[in-house]
Amino acid sequence: MKRFQLSRRAVLRGAGGVAIGLPFLEVMRPLGGGQAHAAGSTPPKRFIVFFSPDGNIRENWTPTGTETNFTLSPILAPLAAHQADLVVVQGVDQRGGGGDGHQNGMGGMLTGQLLNAGPFAGAGSAPAGWPNGPSVDQRVAEVLGNDTKLRSLELGVQVGAADNWGRMIYRAANQPLPPEDDPAQVYANVFADLHADPVALAALRARRRSILDTVGAQYARIGARLSAADRARLDQHLTAVREVETRLTTPFATATAACHDPGPAPAAATTNNDDFPAIGALQLDMLVMALACDITRVASLQWSRSVSQVRFTWLTPSIPEGHHDLSHKPDADADAVDKLTRINRWYATQLATLMSKLAAIPEGDGTLLDHTLILWCNELAIGNIHSRIDAPYVLGGRAGGRLATGRFLRYAGDVPHNNLLVSILNAMDIPDQRFGKPEWCTGPLPGLV
């Protein structure tokens, strides 16, 4: 339900028959305060993708025990405090193809699709482009993202270049959504509402809508005079403009007990290797608060990128080698196995931090974590052979009660990860029975949701 609307939308007919939406500076009825979901009603569901790169060490990742009585592995041990909120999923194969192992994993991980041909030449494969469909979070955003300021929020930590090793979120086929690597930018873009006067904010939004409406009409008009190829370029721009315009009709965030201004990031993000944890911590804070304020219900946090060469110099003992270089050491290299285990354990620690922060925010009759579903994924299962068979998936949070947690699920045989993605949609109350490439998907994973 929309909490407010433009009270009227006069149309000015200008010279040359150009229609312009008004009101420019008309002050709309401001919000009475509170979040988009009224107190006492059921809190909305949230979905988070949490990505870490370069594969895993299977024997140190896999828990032991039974479905409901299991012991976390060395890598997953930092999640012990949240074991009752986890579902560890083993035996699912991450499908993908069209490029090299990292590209296929990165592009297929959340889309369940092949990569189209494109400009990025990988190792041992034809040059590949972007995947042939949207990522699962964007399907969720299609349903959950319409009532919030942001349809979805993509955050990164030193992700960098715009290629298919570095993009995992896709609005649609061939449409990567870039993550924002700079917490200061995130703060400026996402939380501006929290320190603005509501009346002035309403006026600003009305003015922006009018201008975007005007601008959009120009894209359509000029596009019609261009060749089909150029028209497609402007159409894409027009779609983006319309989406921004739509966002401006959603309720804006106001501070509540749970939602507060996270405070500006101390400095712009850098690409310095050793700033990786500090930037990550800032992005985690921004992510949690964006959900708590109901600025978005769909978010992702992408740590680095596939083929990540982050050097985990801050661990004890320090790891001076690049992550990807280490990931290609043979299984018998005990030193590399130890280091990779500690790297993946560090990422598990970050996930535990995220879960703790979500669990600390009361919401409805539980916490924000209870209404959230987190998917922790990796573009590879095993780094040194680029395997994506039996990929390491962890789900966290209860998705508003749809997900029975505190479980370790093992699947055997040929289980495409498309089925896991379908189950995720189902947990988010989206009753789809297929996702991604149709030939790969046979329906939801049995016993998960």
Window 251-290: residues binding other proteins (CB under 8 A): 271-273
Nearer Cβ to other proteins (77/211) = 211
What's the min distance (Å) between Cβ of 248 and other proteins?
10
Interface with other proteins includes 314 (CB under 8 A)?
no
Nearer Cβ to other proteins (219/347) = 219
Q: Quick one: which of 34, 91, 127, 277 contacts other proteins (CB under 8 A)?
A: 127
Nearer Cβ to other proteins (177/421) = 177
The amino acid that residue 27 corresponds to is: V
Q: Quick one: which of 3, 231, 402, 434 contacts other proteins (CB under 8 A)?
A: 231
Are 273 and 160 contacting, i.e. CB atoms less than 8 angstroms apart? no
Distance CA 172, CA 170 (A): 5
Interface with other proteins includes 139 (CB under 8 A)?
no
The amino acid that residue 342 corresponds to is: R
Greatest CA span in the chain, whole angstroms?
76
Q: For the chain, give the number of residues.
A: 449
Distance CA 190, CA 192 (A): 6
User: Which one, of 409, 408, 405, lies nearest residue 374 by Cα?
Assistant: 405
Site for other proteins in 6-35 (CB under 8 A): 12, 14-18, 20, 22, 24-25
Residue 238: its H or E element: helix 228-247
What's the min distance (Å) between Cβ of 111 and other proteins?
16
User: Which one, of 310, 33, 282, 255, lies nearest residue 182 by Cα?
Assistant: 282
Distance CA 65, CA 22 (A): 64
Binding mask 190-209 for other proteins (x = CB under 8 A): -----------------xx-
Q: Quick one: which of 27, 244, 389, 404 contacts other proteins (CB under 8 A)?
A: 244
Show Cβ contacts of residue 350 under 8 Å, excluding neighbours closer than 6 positions.
50, 280, 284, 303
Stretch that binds other proteins, among 105-113, 317-325, 341-349, 437-445 (CB under 8 A): 317-325
Q: Quick one: which of 121, 199, 267, 404 contacts other proteins (CB under 8 A)?
A: 121
Interface with other proteins includes 225 (CB under 8 A)?
yes
Strand 372-377 versus strand 362-363 pairing type: unpaired
Nearer Cβ to other proteins (50/219) = 219
Phi and psi, residue 143, nearest 5°: -95, -45
Stretch that binds other proteins, among 80-88, 112-120, 276-284, 418-426 (CB under 8 A): 112-120
Distance CA 35, CA 41 (A): 11
Site for other proteins in 320-359 (CB under 8 A): 320, 322, 325, 328, 330
Stretch that binds other proteins, among 36-44, 238-246, 357-365, 409-417 (CB under 8 A): 238-246
